[in-house]
Structure 1
Amino acid sequence: MEWWLIYLLLGSVVGFLAGLLGIGGGLIIVPVLAYIFTAQDFPSDRILHLALGTAMATIIFTSLASLRMHHVHGAVNWWIVRYLVPGIILGTMAGSTLAGWLSTQALSIIFVIFIYYAATQIWLKMTPTSRRALPGKLGMVAAGSLIGMLSSLVAIGGGILTVPFLSMCNVKLQYAIGTAAAVGFPIAVAGTIGYIINGLLQTQPLPDYSLGYVYLPALGWIAVASMFTAPLGAKATHNMQTATLRKIFVVLLYFLGTKMLFNLF
């Protein structure tokens, strides 16, 4: 089977959805890659680790495009980024290391719980009320550490965690989204490095063309396709029923999460 065609198709769909709905593709890439890697007879107890590492690496490319767009529109609060990033790096590296120690079953349970949470948040459009100001420097590092750890465990850019946190701290939604996009890049870089290092340190043989837990053929095709289709999705936002497509996306997330859950048992 020509697997590169499947990776290309996956990247095209994920890129379009990211541009259309402003939602990262990690939550779709991970379960789909897990099914593809299973079909390719990759080591069964390393499949999810490879899916998480590869998905995290793809976010490097998509987050750069998103960061540039929000910076041009002046929607990034660089003060917040400055004090979140140290914690982000620590938390992301810790999360990717923890992922290397966990079994595939444990990682699957964590991912399924998070995918249900994300789908429900998107479906109900849950936005926390503004309750307090931003914490001090140590508080920002602590928040960044938590966001980074959770993001690396489920291979996301962190927006679904960063935006609610900043909104709760009285940051306007426009700046919360733009700042979350900026934070997504260090999450992706640190997470990718962590998955590469932890993959290189483990003794079990990994598939050819793997760099640690990053499977390079999948990364290349998904990244190329998503970078072409993300602008198309952003343009289509003004011409399509985004609310209907958002509901379809939520249903897809519930379906993928449920399928992973059934596969566990």
Structure 2
Amino acid sequence: MEIIIFLFSGIFIGVIAGLFGLGGGLLIVPVLTYSLIFFSKIPLEQAILIAISTALASMVMTGAVAVYAHKKNNNISLTIIKRFLVGLILGSLIVGFSIDLIPGDYLRSGFIIYVFFTAYRMFVDRRLTNRPSLPSFMKANIIGFFFALISGVLGIGGGTLFTPYLIKRDVPSKLAIGTSSAFGFFIGLFTSITVFINSTSFELNSLPLIGYVYVPAILFLTLPSLLFVKISAGWLIKLSDDCAKKWFASLLIVIGVLMIFQS
């Protein structure tokens, strides 16, 4: 039953990762948390830590495939990536070394408010332009730092934060989605490396763990999702920029509601 749950979750994660540039952590974390509690009788606090760490590791694989697919479709901007990357890496490293110490309640509440407000603004703002207005290098890296911090603590893809931000800075929706998938890849990569270095051994019912990463979830959830990442990334080409923005705004509302129930 656990494997079946992972397989169906992986399909959905692959679709949203390819189509919206999200890492799928918002689904992986609750699915894996409650799976560990129900099937393996793991305490909640440890189950959440394993779930977040596994979600971050999963983001590396889904992010890599998404980046490859979006790059082929010319939906990634290296200029934007370079502007945010330093702060993003620093935030990811800090999360990796302190993930088991940082309380996520306040970040989660702020995140919920952010996604609802951003979704509203994306629905009511009808401006579409091909002239992005990016922040300065310093401001961009401060934003990258805090977005990476929030993403790492909650175990979510950076696209949930970066995509709406870039769209509000007049970056075309498809370019914002593709570029955000690259940010998710870097967040997952650097956070996973530091989490592994900082991890302590768990001896919980002989769970198959590498650091804090739950191996069955990688095999039966993440790996099957990779096929659907590549397929759904091609669907983005067929959407108009305005349609992509509305779809993403709708997804933000769903994400906000899910986060409320997870609080």
Q: Does TM-score exceed 0.5, indicating one fold?
A: yes
| Pick aligned residue for 1:260 from 254, 259, 262 | 262
Cα distance change of structure 1 residues 248 and 136 upon mapping to structure 2, 3 Å threshold: closer
How far does residue 120 in structure 1 lie from its aligned partner after superposition?
6.5
Partner SS, residue 101 of structure 1: coil
In the alignment, structure 1 segments of 5+ residues that lack a partner are none
Distance 2:110 2:182 in 1: 26
Question: How far apart, CA to CA, are the structure 2 residues paired with 1:141 and 1:211?
Answer: 31
Alignment match, 1:228: 227
Query: Which range is displaced more, 26-35 or 13-22?
Result: 13-22
Is 1:76 the counterpart of 2:73? The answer is: no
Q: Secondary structure at the match of 2:199?
A: helix
What is the one-letter code of the residue matched to 2:41?
D
Partner of 2:211: 212
Q: Give the distance between the partners of 1:96 and 1:142, measured in 2 at CA.
A: 18
2:104 alignment partner, SS class: helix
Q: Which amino acid aligns with 2:72?
A: V
The answer as to 2:8 corresponding to 1:9 is yes
> TM-score, normalized by length of structure 2?
0.78
- The residue that corresponds to 1:107 in the other structure is 104
Please report how far the alpha carbon of residue 173 of structure 1 lies from its aligned counterpart in structure 2 after TM superposition: 3.2
For the 8 Å contact 1:127–1:167, the answer to whether it is kept is no
Output the CA distance in 2 between the equivalents of 1:29 and 1:13: 10
User: Does the CA contact (< 8 Å) of 1:134 and 1:169 recur in 2?
Assistant: yes
Match of 2:33 in 1: 34
Secondary structure of the 2:63 match is helix
Partner of 2:52 in structure 1? 52
Please tell me whether the aligned partners of residues 118 and 164 of structure 2 are also in contact (alpha carbons under 8 angstroms).
no
Alignment of 1:18-167 (within 5 A): 18-19=17-18, 23-39=22-38, 40-102=40-102, 106-107=103-104, 110-111=107-108, 114=111, 117-118=114-115, 121-122=118-119, 125=122, 133-167=133-167
1:83–1:141 CA contact under 8 A, matched in 2 = yes
Residue 165 to residue 9, structure 1, CA distance change in 2 (3 Å): closer
Compute the RMSD of aligned alpha carbons: 3.6
Counterpart of 1:198, as a letter, is N
For residues 76 and 249 of structure 2, the distance between their equivalents in structure 1, rounded to whole angstroms, comes to 28
Aligned mates of 1:74, 1:258 — CA distance in 2: 35
Deviation at 1:53, TM superposition (A): 0.7
Report the CA distance shift for 1:216/1:21 in structure 2 as closer, same or farther (over 3 A): same
- AA aligned to 1:166 is L
The structure-2 alpha-carbon separation of the partners of 1:62 and 1:123, relative to structure 1 and needing over 3 Å to count, comes to farther
Gap change, CA 1:171 and 1:22, over 3 Å in 2: closer
* Runs of 5+ consecutive residues of structure 2 not aligned to the other structure: none
1:98-149 CA deviation, whole Å, 9 max, x = no partner? 32113xxx43664465356446745774587899943333333222211211
Give 2:45's aligned amino acid: D
Change (3 A) 1:126 1:117: farther
- Report how many aligned residue pairs link the two structures: 254
> 1:24, CA displacement in angstroms?
3.6
Residue 49 of structure 1: how far off its partner (Å)? 1.0
CA distance in 1, matches of 2:122, 2:246: 14
Q: Normalised by the size of structure 1, how large is the TM-score?
A: 0.77
Q: What is the percent sequence identity of the aligned residues? A: 26
